[in-house]
């Protein structure tokens, strides 16, 4: 009888560990450790400082530079800088739409699955200002 109890007990320990390990909330935000942070309902956020590393795009003279960019899938962060005198946007239909004001640096963050996306400026049109984002 004791052996049965021991076997049952040992059987439950890994199960309990598994449940604890799976019960964790892995929805962690890299921006702050504040427990009162709202859930990421809005896919588009801007921060005061652009990401220190990673892809970046500068905008001037009605074009993006570079016009083609490859980023890892998931949470995408792109640092942008509008060098020109006119406002522009960084827009991917149904994914992200951020205004880039003249002379301003903007950190764009959004979620994207793997694929190829066309980003463009809604203020000047897809035929004037566009580029290609590859998410892989
Ligand atoms: Cu524009």
Could you tell me the distance, in angstroms and rounded to a whole number, from the CA of residue 30 to the centre of ligand 1? 30
Residue 94 tokens read as 């149904």
pLDDT at position 65 is 97
Buried b / exposed e along 89-114 (16+ C-beta atoms within 10 A): bbbbeebbbbbbeeeebbbbbbebee
For 22-70, what is each residue's pLDDT tens digit?
Answer: 444 555 444 444 455 444 444 444 444 444 468 999 998 899 999 999 9
Could you tell me the distance, in angstroms and rounded to a whole number, from the CA of residue 50 to the centre of ligand 1? 20
Burial of 116 (0-12, 13-18, 19+ CB in 10 A): exposed
CATH architecture of 45-135: Sandwich (2.60)
pLDDT at position 88 is 97
CA distance 129 to 127: 6
If pLDDT is split at 50, 70 and 90, which confidence band does 17 have?
A: very low
Position of tokens 């994207």?
112
pLDDT of 118 strictly over 60: yes
Q: Where are the domains of the chain?
A: 45-135
The answer to whether 57 and 90 are in contact (CB under 8 A) is: yes
Residue 50 tokens read as 């652009």
Could you tell me the distance, in angstroms and rounded to a whole number, from the CA of residue 119 to the centre of ligand 1? 11
Could you tell me the distance, in angstroms and rounded to a whole number, from the CA of residue 125 to the centre of ligand 1? 7
pLDDT of 18 strictly over 60: no
pLDDT at position 109 is 96
pLDDT at position 68 is 97
The pocket of ion ligand 1, defined by CB under 5 A, consists of 88, 121, 123-124, 129
């Amino acid at each position: 009888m004791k052996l049965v109890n021991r076997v049952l007990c040992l059987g439950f320990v890994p199960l309990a560990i598994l449940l604890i390990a799976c019960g964790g909330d892995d929805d962690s935000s890299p921006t702050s450790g504040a427990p009162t942070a709202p859930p990421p309902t809005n896919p588009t956020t801007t921060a005061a400082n652009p990401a220190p590393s990673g892809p970046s795009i500068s905008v001037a003279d009605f074009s993006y530079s570079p016009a083609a960019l490859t980023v890892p899938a998931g949470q995408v962060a792109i640092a942008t800088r509008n060098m020109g005198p006119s406002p522009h946007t960084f827009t991917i239909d149904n994914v992200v739409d951020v205004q880039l004001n003249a002379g301003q640096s903007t950190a764009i963050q959004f979620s994207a699955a793997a694929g190829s996306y066309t980003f463009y400026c809604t203020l000047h049109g897809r035929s004037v200002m566009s580029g290609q984002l590859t998410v892989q």
